[in-house]
Chains A and B, each alone.
Chain A
């Protein structure tokens, strides 16, 4: 079973539209991270959310941590072609010795 379920798996939308992607789990986490990975490169950390209900903004990206700290969402306003990539949510494992990733949402923004 997958610890982190991300949805949708794939999303292709027109430039200028808004979108939301989700990261869900039945487990409670002390923090959750979002990474973006571009083709041929490693993931890059976008944000870490720590407190239940926390909202963090990064330009046109808004990240929210669920009140119960089991899930998170990423909302992109007015998507641009440069937002294209694989968005991964991740958490530290139970033993705090490794980061575990979801399978990701592959986002494609059409110009």
Chain B
């Protein structure tokens, strides 16, 4: 069974370019979460999606950031016009349900570096 797959592992962008981060959840999981992690920090929630719907985007900046989880294909986190402050590790996680004791399965992350 494949776990959560994220690609690319490393992404380098110049200021002003667009970054597209992809996440394929565990097969059968319909709940996807994106987190951002800065060096020496924990994980900060960004957005929660459930197939084709954004359920909670309270942690995502209102501008330049968007996320989708289409019926077919991976979830995409898109950052437009990147700035140096966007440099971070972005992790995707998936779960089968959202029961209180549910376990999240994480991908290995995408390290975004903005030059």
Contacts and interface: CB of A to CB of B under 8 A. Distances in A.
Interface in B76-109: 91, 93, 98-104, 106-109
A39 B6 CA distance: 16
Contacts of A98: 33, 45, 48, 56, 59
Interface string A18-45: 0000000000001101000000111111
A103 interface: yes
A8 to B, nearest CB: 13
Interface residues of A, number: 27
Given A42-B91, A44-B106, A45-B104, A101 B98 contact: no
A98 B106 CA distance: 13
A43 B101 CA distance: 16
B63 interface: no
B72 interface: no
B28 interface: no
A97 B41 contact: no
Contacts of B19: none
A32 B33 CA distance: 18
A99 B33 contact: yes
B22 to A, nearest CB: 15
A41 B103 contact: no
B42 A41 contact: no
B101 A101 contact: no
Given A88-B43, A101-B43, A42 B93 contact: yes
Given A43-B91, A88-B43, A100-B45, 4 more contacts: A40-B108, A43-B106, A93-B45, A96-B98
**Chain A to chain B: the 5 pairs with minimum beta-carbon distance, closest first:** A42-B106, A103-B42, A101-B42, A101-B43, A104-B42
